[in-house]
Amino acid sequence: MTFPALLTEAEIKCAVDRIADEIKRDLGDQPILLVGILKGSLYFLADLSRCLGENVAIDFMQVSSYGNDRRSSGVVKILKDVDISLENRNVILVEDIIDTGITLSHLLQVLRTRNPKSLRIASLLSKTEARTANVEIDYLGFEIPNKFVVGYGLDDAERFRNLPYIAILPTGESV
């Protein structure tokens, strides 16, 4: 299935390179812990981590707020926690998209209690129009319209994550 691309592979690659440069500018040679929020951040984290230097550790968390629904339920549950301690580390939370911001603001509250040296947010996409919780994104790929998108990690009920580009899900394409 081919959908018209909202963001092409080349545009995504360019944004990932830029974000890596911004991170290197801010953190220099300091060790970094990238914490990917599963599953949507999968490709972004994989590509971003390979643009950063040697001193990069990777871990994952999984939270649930949507189920198979396209709207945030507003309830955030930690399904999988990190294995690596955040204490005194430069942590960058890696997200696919910040929509309402509910998931992220909840996670930030939890992670701040674990005494990281610094805690930053990298998100490939943001839908500012949809925001209900106030969150500051340190590294952002693209601001996008308030439409449901799929590809490059983002799914519709687990479909379309593996599209190499990002597309607005055409109406009627849902399972």
Q: Does 60 bind ligand IMP (CB under 6 A)?
A: no
Helix ranges restricted to H, the chain: 9-27, 42-51, 102-112
Q: How many CB atoms lie within 10 A of CB 98?
A: 23
User: What six digits make up the tokens of 94?
Assistant: 């890696």
Question: Contact with Mg ion (CB under 5 A): which of 40, 101, 116, 141?
Answer: 40
The set of catalytic residues is 99
37 beta partners: 61
The interface with Mg ion within residues 80-99 (CB under 5 A) comprises: 96
Residues 95 and 111: beta-carbon distance below 8 Å: no
Q: Map residue 59 onto helix, strand or coil.
A: strand
Q: Choose the contact partner of 72 out of ligand IMP, Mg ion, none; CB within 5 to 8 A by kind.
A: ligand IMP
Residues 115-154 as x/- pattern, contact with Mg ion by CB under 5 A: ----------------------------------------
Residue with tokens 């990777």: 58
The nearer residue to ligand IMP, 40 or 116, going by C-beta atoms, is 40
Question: Contact with ligand IMP (CB under 6 A): which of 6, 154, 163, 167?
Answer: 154
Closest CA to 36 of 66, 60, 16: 60
Could you tell me whether strands 166-168 and 77-80 are parallel, antiparallel, or unpaired per DSSP bridges?
unpaired
Q: Does 122 bind ligand IMP (CB under 6 A)?
A: no
Give the footprint of Mg ion on this chain (CB under 5 A).
Answer: 37, 40, 96
Give the footprint of ligand IMP on this chain (CB under 6 A).
Answer: 40, 65-66, 72, 95-104, 148-150, 154
